[in-house]
């Protein structure tokens, strides 16, 4: 049986996967959705430790570690520290790079300047739901109630990778149209890339197509190639 460890991106929580989890579980998979801390002073490496704790609770079978957006950095470092626990890494519009990469080393200068200017007391206020591509009024209201400030240190910290993660198969699912070069980020670490039409928060807007892709990744890893039907 496959276990999906689903890690939410910046400003989000486990609820970000609420529309994907039942679909995966209906297919026979297990799911784990770690709740990352959002308090001042929390850094990327604290989030890595929380994902490691979740990984350590997963059964010793096929574990797929999925990171959305900022969590691409988190899951790559967690996989690097537990390569024997992770069967496949999947990025969903994920920020990733080599050892020493972080949000502020990967993002454009304009993005970094806006984030630094908006930070207050070590926290970055949540953007409006529309910034994530959410345009449906009901979804926007639902999201606005749940988004929470993101610790600034999670954006200033950088990854520490030994190279073990590069021996784990990986896939980068990138949303079209692209808001940032997520396809290129995934390719830069050697991952196969797969497009999906939808906004950055595709797991909320288009959970069924995303779920199919996640399941295809698992099926394809058994045969050595993705099954994209």
Tens-place pLDDT, residues 137-192: 999 999 999 999 999 999 999 999 999 999 999 999 999 999 999 999 999 999 99
Strand order of the β-sheet with 88-92 is: 30-32, 2-7, 62-68, 88-92, 170-176, 192-197
Tell me: pLDDT of 219 over 90: no
Q: pTM (2 decimals)? A: 0.95
pLDDT at site 59: 87
225 pLDDT tier (thresholds 50, 70, 90): very low
Distances in Å between the Cα of 84 and the Cα atoms of 1, 29, 62 are: 16, 20, 10
Q: What average pLDDT does the structure give for the chain?
A: 94
φ/ψ of residue 71, rounded to 5: -65, -10
Structure-model confidence comparison of residues 60 and 100, the more confident one: 100
DSSP string covering the chain: -EEEEEE--TT--GGGGTTTHHHHHHTT-EEE------STT--HHHHHHHHHHHHTTS-SSEEEEEEETTHHHHHHHHHHH-TTT-SEEEEES----STT--HHHHS-HHHHHHHHHH-BTTEEPPPPGGGGT---HHHHHHHHHH---EETHHHH------SGGGGS-EEEEEEES-SS-HHHHHHHTT-EEEEEES-TTHHHH-HHHHHHHHHHHHHHHHHTS----
pLDDT at site 226: 44
Give all domains of the chain, ordered by start, each with its CATH number: 2-223 (3.40.50.1820)
pLDDT at site 124: 98
pLDDT at site 218: 84
229 pLDDT tier (thresholds 50, 70, 90): very low
Nearest to 116 by CA among 145, 75, 150, 161: 150
Token digits of residue 85: 């626990």
Tens-place pLDDT, residues 114-140: 999 999 999 999 999 999 999 899 999
């Amino acid at each position: 049986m496959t276990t999906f460890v689903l890690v939410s991106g910046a400003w989000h929580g486990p609820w970000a996967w609420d529309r994907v989890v039942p679909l995966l579980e209906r297919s026979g998979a297990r799911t784990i959705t770690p709740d990352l801390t959002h308090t001042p002073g929390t850094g990327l490496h604290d989030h890595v430790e929380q994902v490691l704790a979740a990984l350590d609770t997963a059964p010793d079978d096929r574990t797929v570690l999925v990171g959305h957006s900022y969590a691409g950095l988190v899951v790559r470092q967690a996989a690097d520290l537990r390569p024997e626990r992770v069967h496949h890494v999947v990025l969903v519009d994920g920020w990733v790079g080599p050892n020493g990469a972080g949000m502020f080393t990967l993002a454009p200068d304009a993005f970094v300047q806006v984030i630094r200017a908006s930070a207050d007391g070590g926290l970055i206020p949540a953007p409006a739901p529309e910034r994530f591509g959410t345009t449906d009024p009901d979804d926007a209201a639902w999201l606005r109630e749940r988004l929470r400030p993101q610790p600034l240190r999670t954006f200033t910290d950088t990854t520490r990778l030994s190279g073990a993660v590069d021996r784990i198969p990986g896939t980068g699912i990138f949303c079209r149209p692209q808001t940032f070069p997520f396809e290129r980020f995934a390719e830069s670490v050697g991952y196969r890339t797969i497009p999906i039409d939808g906004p950055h928060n595709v797991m909320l807007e288009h959970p069924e197509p995303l779920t199919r892709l996640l399941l295809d990744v698992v099926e394809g890893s058994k045969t050595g190639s993705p099954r994209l039907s």
